[in-house]
Amino acid sequence: MHIVIIGNGVAGITAARHIRKLSPASRTGGDHKITVVSGETDHFFSRTALMYIYMGHMRFEDTKPYEDWFWEKNRIELVRGHVKIVETESRRLLFEDGKTLTFDQLLIATGSKSNKFGWPGQDLEGVQGLYHYQDLESMELHSAGLRRAVIVGGGLIGIEMAEMFHSRHIPVTFLVREKNFWDPVLPLEEAQMINRHILENGIDLRLETELKEILPDTNGKARAVVTNKGETIECGFVGLTVGVSPNVDFLKDSGIELGRGILVDDYLETNIPGIFAAGDCVQLRNPQPGRRPIEAVWYTGRMMGETAAYNIVNSRQSAVGSQGRSIPYDPGTWFNSAKFFDIEYQVYGTVLANPPENHASLYWEHPDGRHSIRLIYDRKTGSILGFNLMGVRYRHEVCEKWLRMGTHIEEVLQNLGIANFDPEFYKQYEADLLALYNRQSGRNLTLKKRRGLAGAMAFLRA
């Protein structure tokens, strides 16, 4: 059976690896042919590391998780090209250069594309997002002699781009339409912390300011932006970082059902039997409670890739090599992480910018304004619901177990030492957080002595 995967990001490559694990050559009839198609790069790379290439911390070859010989050794064929049309009835791909490729099973893992919202001048030279490797190359090209960059959109890609230019001492103006950075996601105190940190790093942060128009020079390049406040800001580069959307335009006439993304069932299969989708391009028909139908996050892409691999191998379309029943996609407990210049960010569970009435919050912030811990718990039952961390790191497995078990906030607070994952000799703040809770509640709780890796491992084994 020939399995074709469109896209060599984390979802597509995770799927390819697990399909090969499930169908080794030694298994009778199970040695599926696997072909990965990509129009972006020859080999899989870590997309989250793009900024570090620009900043000089890494080379492109350092971002490739596998050596170039890995693919031939594992019998995964790599094809470079852009798919123009997916013919579902003939089970054939048509490429922009006129070539074709047939398949028995297909996985679409084409990721995202940067959003544009019809601004005048948005297609000028020097106006772009930051998602693909080609975006990094274009950003590098336009950085030579650049006097100022304007970045539009207050999200994770925007602040990454700001840090990239800042690393080369290129002045940056950052337009954020909300009252605070990442207002739709971060609670107020954390959002204001990042506001301050952006300004401390010399970024010209303009809150409650929107892009109205991008002005061209005589050569069709960006020369300035006009804001909704009537101000003209001279610049030679405009970063459009107002989110991403599923990269699915080439599928509009394929017969594959689309919403904002590729609509899939609980097993990541589309309406066409034997055609699956995974990663940023997916829109779940039945997302789990509290989860979004589209989640453009690295770890969900990896999990979808593994799930899709099992279901492709076990699909009813497979003539041979069935290894058991299909399994539904389960994203588990929500988590995410990022870095805002020098402040690391982690979130586990449910932490909302505008929480419902039953969500109680315990928030502690260090006087330096660069460290904070927020615990969210149910106001009636006391069950832990979420962790929001700035400049502090907690162990994923420990937080996940507490959330899964619905552990009471007071038990969590007394055992926070086993969650802390900061390096040795770093100052720890769990006692400060517990003291705050005691003052607010009138309780007299104390920290238990279990700490560090040994305490965490004992807890996880229990």
pLDDT tens readout for residues 327-374:
999 999 999 999 999 999 999 999 999 999 999 999 999 999 999 999
Predicted pLDDT at 322 = 42
Predicted pLDDT at 361 = 98
Helix (H) or strand (E) holding 459: helix 452-461
pLDDT tens readout for residues 57-87:
999 999 999 999 999 999 999 999 999 999 9
pLDDT tens readout for residues 166-186:
999 999 999 999 999 999 999
Structure tokens at 348: 């586990």
Query: Given pLDDT bands bounded at 50, 70 and 90, which one contains residue 25?
Result: low
Of 428, 342, 23, which is closest to residue 163 (Cα–Cα)?
A: 342
Average pLDDT over residues 89-103: 97
Strands 262-264 and 204-207: unpaired
Structure tokens at 266: 């609980």
Predicted pLDDT at 279 = 98
For 23-165, where are the E strands, in sequence order?
33-38, 76-80, 83-87, 92-95, 100-102, 105-108, 112-114, 127-128, 149-152
User: Residues 195, 204, 191, CA angle at the centre, nearest 5°?
Assistant: 10
Listed range (25-39, 117-131, 355-369) with the worst mean pLDDT: 25-39
Q: Report residue 311: phi and psi, to 5°.
A: -75, -30
Of 110, 156, 111, 151, which is closest to residue 128 (Cα–Cα)?
A: 151
State the average pLDDT for the chain.
94
Q: In DSSP terms, which residues pair with 435 in a beta bridge? A: none
| Cβ proximity of 156 and 50 under 8 Å | no
pLDDT tens readout for residues 223-280:
999 999 999 999 999 999 999 999 999 999 999 999 999 999 999 999 999 999 999 9
Please state, for a pLDDT cut of 90, what percent of the chain lies above it.
89
Average pLDDT over residues 77-104: 97
Question: Is the model's pLDDT at 26 over the cut of 60?
Answer: no
Q: Helix, strand, or coil here: 140?
A: helix
| Cβ proximity of 20 and 120 under 8 Å | no
- Read off the DSSP letter of residue 445: -
| Cβ proximity of 222 and 68 under 8 Å | no
pTM for this one?
Answer: 0.93
Q: What is the 3-state secondary structure (H, E, C) of 197-219?
A: HHHHCCCEEEECCCEEEEEECCC
Of 300, 338, 395, which is closest to residue 182 (Cα–Cα)?
A: 338
pLDDT tens readout for residues 269-325:
999 999 999 999 999 999 999 899 999 999 999 999 999 999 999 875 444 444 457
pLDDT tens readout for residues 47-59:
999 999 999 999 9
Cα(202)–Cα(418) distance, rounded to whole angstroms? Answer: 37
Predicted pLDDT at 240 = 97
The number of helices, as runs of H, and strands, as runs of E, in the chain is: 11, 25
Of 79, 55, 107, 20, which is closest to residue 305 (Cα–Cα)?
A: 107
Which domains, and CATH codes, for the chain? Answer: 2-113+245-313 (3.50.50.60), 127-242 (3.50.50.60), 336-461 (3.50.50.60)
Neighbour-count burial for 277-290, b at 16+ CB within 10 Å, e otherwise: bbbbbbbbeeeeee
pLDDT tens readout for residues 390-415:
999 999 999 999 999 999 999 999 99
Query: Given pLDDT bands bounded at 50, 70 and 90, which one contains residue 24?
Result: low
User: Cβ contacts of residue 317 below 8 Å, gap of 6+?
Assistant: 104, 105, 273, 274
| Cβ proximity of 199 and 193 under 8 Å | no
Predicted pLDDT at 324 = 56
